Amino acid sequence: MTRRSSFLAAIKVVVIFGLLSGFPSAWITASENPGPNWRVGVARQVITPPAGQWMAGYASRQRPAEGKLHDLWLKVLVLEDQAGHRGVFISADILGFPRHVSEKICQELCQKFGLERDQIMLAASHTHCGPVLENALYDIYPLDNAQKELIARYTRQLEQWAVTAVERAIQSLRPATLSAFESEAHFAVNRRNNKEGEVPSLLARGERPRGPVNHRVPGFWVTDISGNPVAVVFGYACHATTLDIYQWCGDYPGFAQLSIEKALPGVTAMFFAGCGADQNPIPRRSVELCEKYGEQLASAVLSTWGKSNSLAPKLCTAFTTVDLRFDLVDDATLNRAVQSGGYQARWANRLLSEKAAGKQWTDTYPYPVQVWRLGEDQYWVALGGEVVVDYANIMEKSISPTIWVTGYANDVMAYIPSRRVWEEGGYESGAFPVYGLPAARWEPNIEHRILAAVQSLIAKLKVAEPASEQVAAPSHGR
């Protein structure tokens, strides 16, 4: 069977899948190809750790991983516009890229390929069935020295995998077109405004769960000169917390990517987590539900094939950091945390020891904000930390209804509340004992500071010269 006939057969699978899944099933045809204008390279790497290494995300786990449900992946997409300006998108089935890991990867990519910081975007699926990385959320896991050594070795390996995958993607650059799409999936539920046990009966009655959500599935297709899909990048604003098992697994984003790649052999599917810090897949806690949500998300993506809008071969990239302030935690709070036991006690005891040793804590954090402009006016925002859904909703109203917003990008240091969530308080207003910062509360204008940084970068990119001038000076807002 030829590649073209294989692709047509795959499209038939998509149509059948769509009919069964309920998405609009009008004729699915390839987009009109305006001719190759971008160059694109793709690479992928299995990053599944061995059994016996500690898993990330839940403080309640009592033992290391015992095997795998499916492999974990790191995937790379290199975009090169008409004038040679490049952007590197790295996605991985991990909880998040800690700042020191992101910095190490970016430094290596700068030295080897001349890539500036604004040209590299690192995104995590935030699966809670992935590996712990070095010095990331260490207080919430009961780690001994042997586990820490395993984690450190794995982290160095992950960094090297990322660099070599980018190298392979650059070597595979070939002509392609990009086209943006929009779809929806509806399994995300606001976990702050709904009791999890009540959601199934609420849905059975046909009632909508309470609280803000964002059910958009935005992204873009990459198509080769023959009109065949090569890759697809897509996002969704929901925690990857369907499962709390002891097997490595990409959770629903992992199943979604596998489903797309099964429907379209040869395609690399890449996921980015949106602003889903206060969103959960509900109901949850079974492999069957996890697969179901993955299939729903895959169906939403596959339904857009042939219905997307071409992006002109222009790429502008920008990156900055914002020094976000927080109130330092006081001794009374730490002493109460010691009495509570568990991970909060580990956090408090560590900080009390640091304080007794005379360590001076900083009361700011360098928060990463990144914006890419693809084509004429498609903006892609990448924010660090666990970002609540308000940020995506606000940017859709104030900047563009088609804006893409990635959370958990480039660094994951804490929860990032909107002004509304900051005022309400609760877990999603910071979760500092989980992440280890010596903090009690973010500054009250955190939402304004972050959105102002986004708006500033977008303003610069709107007036940026075409990419021909960026080859010499690719960085904006650094």
Give the per-residue pLDDT at 287: 98
**Confidence class for position 304, pLDDT limits 50, 70, 90:** very high
Measure Cα distances from 81 to 73, 117, 275 in Å.
26, 17, 28
pLDDT tens per residue, range 357-415: 999 999 999 999 999 999 999 999 999 999 999 999 999 999 999 999 999 999 999 99
C-alpha dihedral, 178 to 180 to 186 to 187, nearest 10°: 30
Give the per-residue pLDDT at 329: 97
Average pLDDT, the chain: 91
Averaged over 273-295, what is the pLDDT? 98
Give the per-residue pLDDT at 238: 98
**Confidence class for position 465, pLDDT limits 50, 70, 90:** low
Q: Give the closest residue to 408 by CA, choosing from 236, 284, 282, 292.
A: 236
Give the per-residue pLDDT at 466: 52
The residue that leads in pLDDT, 9 or 289, is 289
The answer to whether the peptide bond before residue 34 is cis (omega within 30 degrees of 0) is no
Averaged over 264-287, what is the pLDDT? 98
**Confidence class for position 464, pLDDT limits 50, 70, 90:** confident
**Confidence class for position 327, pLDDT limits 50, 70, 90:** very high
Residue 422 makes CB contacts below 8 A (sequence gap 6+) with 429, 441, 442, 444, 446, 447
Q: Please report, rounded to a whole number, the percentage of residues in the chain having pLDDT higher than 70.
A: 90
| pLDDT at position 16 over 70 | no
- H helix intervals, 137-204: 145-171, 199-204
Least confident of 6-10, 80-84, 187-191, 364-368: 6-10
Which phi and psi (to 5°) does residue 368 adopt?
Answer: -85, 135
Q: Please report, rounded to a whole number, the percentage of residues in the chain having pLDDT higher than 90.
A: 88
Give the per-residue pLDDT at 308: 84
| pLDDT at position 470 over 60 | no
Sort 126 into a burial class: Cβ within 10 Å, 0-12 / 13-18 / 19+.
buried
Residue 136 makes CB contacts below 8 A (sequence gap 6+) with 56, 95, 96, 98, 101, 412
Averaged over 345-356, what is the pLDDT? 97
Give the per-residue pLDDT at 467: 44
Averaged over 243-261, what is the pLDDT? 98
Residue 227 makes CB contacts below 8 A (sequence gap 6+) with 30, 31, 33
**Confidence class for position 9, pLDDT limits 50, 70, 90:** very low
